Amino acid sequence: MTHSDHELMLRYQRGDENAFAILVNRWHSPLLRLVCRLNGFPPSEAEDALQEVFLRVARAASGYQNNWAFSTWLYTIALNAARDMLRRRTPPVAETEVEPATTEPTPPQRASREEVVSLVREALMALEPNHREPLVLKHFSELTFEQIGSVLQAPISTIKSRTAAALKQLRRELLLRGVSSEEFLS
Amino acid sequence: MNCETARNQLIDLVYVEGAIDPLLQQHVESCSDCQNELAELTHAKRLLECFDNDPVESLKVNPPGVTTLKKEVRRHSFWKALGIQALAVGCAALLGAIGGGAFVARLTPQPPVSHKDQKKFFELQQQLVEVNKKLESVQAAAEQPKPTAITALATELKEMKRRQQEAELSLAILRDDMKFFGSYVAKYTGR
């Protein structure tokens, strides 16, 4: 019998630690994806990041209320944790201009799949946080625009326009880094 | 639908959630600018799909620390419980202090009615006697057939009555005080 997240959370509030372990098992992959994509963490740092997220969830558990949607509550905590982690990880530095690629990448120069992933991650991190967050929540966490609106506390129309702006900016950032979508998507 | 409205909704065609607005679809099919805009968004979305093979997607992180989390959670619960207990103990101590203070205060004999009060009591009693005497004389005088003096006497009588009432009231208060003091002393001294 599968218990709902909400039910497990209420059980955990009553002191059932196994209920929390089930929640951790159930949610660790989606949250791992969220934190890594939002912060550009390499997998080696993923475990620590995930642990911090779940610790926060455990600490905030007593404040969880019956009428809340569990996933929205969870993503809100994870997002706040990710923001804090990012702040701690990268001291604020002056933005550096990326020199536009002067030549089209030719087949011999074509970046390997791994390099492309690294460049996309870099481009994603170059986005403004208020653009990156809705895009990551939409694309990687597959939340609805309404859910994203609840997590980020913004109207749906704002979320939609920010997501669209993030996509456009992402493409520009990649072109600046010499990555042509047609090139490696073909 | 115009281009501006359509562009604000193009994201609905990139990330489809339920039914798509037919007006938007119609507009995009007939507008090359919006088609280009949509293509740009779709390309960008496809770029993100390169992550599908990224290690994070396939990373099998063993619930990194259910054991550690449990310890942390227990530690958190312990401190939380400790905090609640400390709060409860603090409240109990405060209530105890208040209750104890009130009990001690109750046991401590109040200062007796002072000698000054007793003196005042006798003074008031004397005043009352005098007032009563005067009142009687005023009443007797009022009964005399002296029409010119009647008004003045009546006023004086009225004033006398007022003063009598005041004196009686003060006396009653003082009597009550002394009665209470007497019973109090008897209770705590056995006398």
Pick A17's closest partner by Cβ from B12, B70, B80: B70
Is pLDDT larger for residue B154 or for residue B69? B154
CB–CB of B164/B131 below 8 Å? Answer: yes
Is A144 in Cβ contact with B51 (below 8 Å)? no
- Please list every residue in chain B whose beta carbon sits closer than 8 Å to the beta carbon of residue A28: 61, 63-64
Min Cα–Cα distance to chain B from A117, Å: 6
Q: Cβ of B19 under 8 Å from any chain A Cβ?
A: no
A108 confidence band (pLDDT: 50, 70, 90) = very low
Is B53 in Cβ contact with A116 (below 8 Å)? no
- Please list every residue in chain A whose beta carbon sits closer than 8 Å to the beta carbon of residue B44: 167-168, 170-171, 181
Least confident of A34-38, A47-51, A166-170, B27-31: A47-51
Phi, psi of A16 (to 5 degrees): -85, 105
Min Cα–Cα distance to chain B from A95, Å: 23
Q: Which residues contact B175 (CB under 8 A, 6 or more apart)?
A: B121
- Give the whole-angstrom CA distance, residue A83 versus residue A76: 11
Is pLDDT larger for residue B25 or for residue B63? B25
Q: Is residue A155 over pLDDT 90?
A: yes
List the one residue out of B32, B163, B55 whose CA is nearest residue A45: B55
- Please list every residue in chain A whose beta carbon sits closer than 8 Å to the beta carbon of residue B48: 120, 124, 135, 139-140, 170
A107 confidence band (pLDDT: 50, 70, 90) = very low
Q: Cβ of B16 under 8 Å from any chain A Cβ?
A: no
Q: Does the complex come out with an ipTM higher than 0.90?
A: no
Tokens of B177: 């005080």
Task: Output Rg (C-alpha) for chain A, integer angstroms.
Answer: 19
- Give the whole-angstrom CA distance, residue A19 versus residue A9: 7
- Give the whole-angstrom CA distance, residue B92 versus residue B160: 59
